[in-house]
Structure 1
Amino acid sequence: MKKNISFSTQGKREDIGKQVIYRLLPNRYAEAVGPFVFFDHIPPGPSTEDEKQSTNPHPHRGIATLTYLLSGESEHYDSMGNYAKVNSGGVQWMKAGTGIIHEERLGNDPVHGDAAIHGFQFWINLPAKNKAEPPEYIALQAGEVPRQLLEDGASWVKIIAGEYGELSSKIPGYSLQFLYHIHLQAGKEFVLDTKDQIEYAAFTIGTKLMVNDTEYEAGEFIEFDRSGGTIEIINKLKDANDFLLFGGERYTEPIVADGPFVMNTHDEIAKAYLDLHNGKYGTITKNKK
């Protein structure tokens, strides 16, 4: 039996400076999917700026951020002294834990023909015990992201987070979580048997896709219900097509979010701001370019 679809929605435009952003999660129907409490789509587009678009230094606490680039380049700085650039196909993951300040600079990818920025950012809510841990940072280039070929020998699944088959992402997980980038050749399908009480959502990157017998356009966020069943996604086009599939265990602890902080109580939010104003998150020193 095919899994029921709860709803679908387009993103709400929430630009950051000159960078165009479409916010998919939270939305008017859902606050989270598994541990994922935030999901932004950075759409493709040519850059006319010589300088990269910066998020400017800003704090986080209680979450892990995950940036996945389809194309482009992301440069990361943070107050723990971490620095890296990742290019098309790469991933940046940062556990904010007890508090960190970071900055991301997004731009075209000079390594791959000046490819324009196109990517996604997620916030992953941490269990309470992990919110109290020190910050961490991981940068993965495209070749370090596991990829599983599907039966047709040309379609594939990239495991950005979690596990698929015998492959596992290098991105840590503190509860059951998964984030897949799936590439389907023309006329091919992807089928996944789901588990009860695990939350699943999809995002259509390319053009039209059939998801459990319903056609969706590009840029659609699709959430499935929590009953068991099968997810069947078919590419009926003459060209290859792509989508994301993500989710995990439902977060059962209280969630209190305010700006860049996601904690479990209002007192913890107040403490997060107090620690920020007292300089406990440190400062960014840009000693690398």
Structure 2
Amino acid sequence: MKKKISFSAQGRQADVGPMIIHRMLPNTYAQKVGSFVFLDHATPTLQKTRNSGGTGVHPHRGIATLTYIIHGEVEHFDSAGNRKTVHSGGIQWMKAGNGILHDELMNYDSNTDSKLTHGFQFWINLPAKIKAEKPDYLAVEGSEVPQKALPDSSGWIKVILGNYEDLNANIPNYLPQFLYHIHLQPGKTFSIKMENEVEVAALLLSQKVVINDALFQSGEFVEFDRESGTIEISNESNDDIDVLLFGGAPYTEPVVAEGPFVMNTPAEIVDAYRDFYTGKYGKIEAKIGRVQHES
């Protein structure tokens, strides 16, 4: 039996500097999907010049940020001393834990001739005991992301988080959760069975897509019910399509979110702001960004 679709929605525009951002989660209908409490979609953009400034130094606590860059590159700095750039297909993961400052800069990929940028940032809510741990960081280049061909030359699947069949993601996973990038050829179909109580949503990256017999547009966020059942993604167009499918077990602890902090109680939010303003998250020594130049 196919899973029922609870709702679909377009994101609201929330641009950051020159980046065109659509905020997909939270939205009018859902505050979270499993442990995912936030999703920004940096829509496909042809970037004429390289950016020289990042999003601005800011704090996080209680979450892990996961940035997946489909086209372009993302430069990362944080107050734990991590500095890294990943390129098209790569992932930046940062466990904020008990508090960290970071900055990010998105540009076109300096390793290719393409000027296209396209990416996503998820916030993953951590279990309470993990929120108290020290920050951590991991960068994964595109060539290191687990990937396999789908049967019948249908396309491929990448496992960004969690596991699928014999594939296991490099990113730490503190609760049962998953994030897949599914690429389908014209006329092909991908199906996956979801167990009872699993929260799951899809984000359509390009073209029109048929999901469980309903047609959806590019850029739509689609959430399903929690009953066990199958999700069937069909490509009825003449071009390849891409879909992100993500979710996991419900996050059962209390959730209190304010600004860049996601904690379990209001008192913990107060503590997060106090520690930030008293300098307990450290500081970023290096300056993000390269000199802006004409391409």
CA contact 1:19–1:53 (8 Å) conserved in 2: no
For 2:222 and 2:148, the matched residues in 1 are separated by 23
Deviation string 1:159-212 (CA, Å, 9 cap, x unpaired) is 000000011001001100100000001100000011000101001101011000
> What is the aligned partner in structure 2 of residue 75 from structure 1?
75
Secondary structure of the structure 2 residue equivalent to 1:110: coil
Q: How does 1:89-100 map to 2 (within 5 A)?
A: 89-100=89-100
Secondary structure of the structure 2 residue equivalent to 1:205: strand
For 1:156 and 1:18, the matched residues in 2 are separated by 32
Deviation string 1:217-239 (CA, Å, 9 cap, x unpaired) is 10000000000111001001111
1:110 alignment partner AA: S
> What is the aligned partner in structure 2 of residue 247 from structure 1?
247
CA contact 1:53–1:107 (8 Å) conserved in 2: no
What is the percent sequence identity of the aligned residues?
Answer: 53
Residue 248 to residue 46, structure 1, CA distance change in 2 (3 Å): same
How does the TM-score come out when normalised to structure 1? 0.98
How does the TM-score come out when normalised to structure 2? 0.96
Deviation string 1:36-91 (CA, Å, 9 cap, x unpaired) is 00001000111233424511100000000000011001000000000100000000
Q: What is the number of equivalent residue pairs in this alignment?
A: 289
How far does residue 17 in structure 1 lie from its aligned partner after superposition?
2.0
Deviation string 1:1-40 (CA, Å, 9 cap, x unpaired) is 1100000000000111222110000001000000000001
1:216 alignment partner AA: F
Q: CA RMSD for the aligned pairs? A: 1.2
CA contact 1:3–1:225 (8 Å) conserved in 2: yes
1:98 alignment partner AA: N
> What is the aligned partner in structure 2 of residue 55 from structure 1?
55
> What is the aligned partner in structure 2 of residue 2 from structure 1?
2
CA contact 1:18–1:53 (8 Å) conserved in 2: no
> What is the aligned partner in structure 2 of residue 133 from structure 1?
133
> What is the aligned partner in structure 1 of residue 145 from structure 2?
145
For 2:273 and 2:177, the matched residues in 1 are separated by 28
How far does residue 287 in structure 1 lie from its aligned partner after superposition?
7.1
How far does residue 240 in structure 1 lie from its aligned partner after superposition?
1.0
2:96 alignment partner AA: A
> What is the aligned partner in structure 1 of residue 113 from structure 2?
113
Q: Unpaired runs of 5+ in structure 2? A: 291-295
2:125 alignment partner AA: N
CA contact 1:190–1:232 (8 Å) conserved in 2: yes
For 1:12 and 1:225, the matched residues in 2 are separated by 23
Secondary structure of the structure 1 residue equivalent to 2:206: coil
CA contact 1:79–1:100 (8 Å) conserved in 2: yes
Secondary structure of the structure 2 residue equivalent to 1:186: coil
